[in-house]
Structure 1
Amino acid sequence: MYDIIVGVDTDVERARTQGAAIADLPGSEEINAILVHVFGGEGGDIESVDAVDEARSILEGAGVEITTEGIGGEPAIALLDAAARHDADCVCVAGRKRSPAGKAIFGSVTQDVIMGADRPTLVCSTDE
């Protein structure tokens, strides 16, 4: 089994892109996708996140095994901690287009995950 941590935010289109990218991987029926949504506080109900439902639907349709995890904290750190806790083979995040100034001022979860990961990282991008 190939374990992938999938960092899903609230954007349904990005979740759709992540789900499709993972579903298109060779041997998708041998993948366990751990859908992780990071809540700003101490946690929340992951079942109420529409983007998680979208990713789950696409992945289940491709025969991918799904588990979900809603956690609190700072997104990049929480995703990297989840990857370590599950000894994941890969981390999947969805990037969005930002100007260099926007990245410098607001930061980027995707960039922080890429820079902090000690395992392969799959970055999916929409046409935003």
Structure 2
Amino acid sequence: MYQIVAGIDTSEERAAAAADAITDLPLEDDSVRVTLLHAFDDDGEEVPVEEVPSVQRARNALDEAGIEATCAGATGDPADAIMERADDVDADMIVVAGRKRTPAGKVLFGSVTQSVILGTDRPVFVCSAGDVL
């Protein structure tokens, strides 16, 4: 079984990009298991992770492709949550949907994507939904 942890933020466009990237991997659909991880803010207003629109969009896309997906929520730093979940399930790969950035945005690249890339020894697949900040 090939385990993937996909970090899903609130952007439905990036969630769809992550799901598309996973479905395009050269793996047999029945050999892939995906955990869609959404990190909530620490503001105490947590809804069930399955009700987060971006998580729903990614899960629907994976379901349509015949790929098994489960949803998980976490609180706190999203990068830490993604890496911790990857360790918990012994993930073979982490998938994150990065944002395209302007030159100034690249200088200030303190993003979840960068933190995951630099903070894990696992392969990280970075896809893009075309957002420009």
Q: Check if 1:40 corresponds to 2:31.
A: no
Partner of 2:119: 116
**Which AA in structure 2 matches 1:23?**
T
Match of 1:94 among 92, 97, 100: 97
Q: How many percent identity over aligned positions?
A: 48
Deviation at 1:102, TM superposition (A): 3.1
Aligned residues: 128
1:60-75 matches, within 5 Å, as 60-75=63-78
Partner of 2:21: 21
Runs of 4+ in 1 over 4 A off after TM superposition: 103-106
Compute the TM-score of the two structures, normalised by the length of structure 1: 0.92
**Which AA in structure 2 matches 1:78?**
A
Compute the TM-score of the two structures, normalised by the length of structure 2: 0.89
**Which AA in structure 2 matches 1:39?**
F
Which structure 1 segments of 5+ residues have no match?
Answer: none
Which structure 2 segments of 5+ residues have no match?
Answer: none
| Root-mean-square deviation over aligned CA pairs | 1.6
Deviation at 1:64, TM superposition (A): 0.6
The whole-number CA distance in structure 1 between the counterparts of 2:41 and 2:104 is 24
